[in-house]
Structure 1
Amino acid sequence: MSEKKSVRPAEAAALLGVCRDTVYVLMRSGRLGEELRTVMELLGHSTIRMTADTYGHVLPARARQAASAIDRTLGQEGTA
């Protein structure tokens, strides 16, 4: 018979946080590329700003790619 292992509230909260972070990254990056509003609703945030403020640091490479794309579009790549 296996024993149930109890999980402390702090451990459960940390695991939940990791799960939420993972959902954000999977939804916003790669093939899914979901809109921020969709992710906001799935995570249960009340505003897009809350989602952006909470997870804005998670995908900095994506922000750099977007800035490079804008530079290329404007013909200014490598001038900044």
Structure 2
Amino acid sequence: MLESCYRPLEGCFGSGGDGDGLLWQMDLKPHASGDYSIAVVQANSSLEDQGQVFVSPSATYVGVYDGPEASRFINSHFFPYLHN
């Protein structure tokens, strides 16, 4: 059971916190290995970086990738590699 959060932030976290479009959060969620939550704060309105969170019974992986092109490449290719 591998979960991923690698879509645009709004689709993953919902709207920004307290009306602030630069703050994204997901409230505490249950998981077989324990509860988890996620929060992201952007420096500006154009978010070029990417991130992923993978949660499984045996491991948790949190990736934050810098730079627009490299982060998109890693984000789209690394999850399928981990999933296999």
Same fold per superposition (TM over 0.5) = no
Q: Which has the higher contact order (CA 8 A, sep 6+)?
A: 2
More helix by share: 1
Who wins on radius of gyration, i.e. which is larger? 1
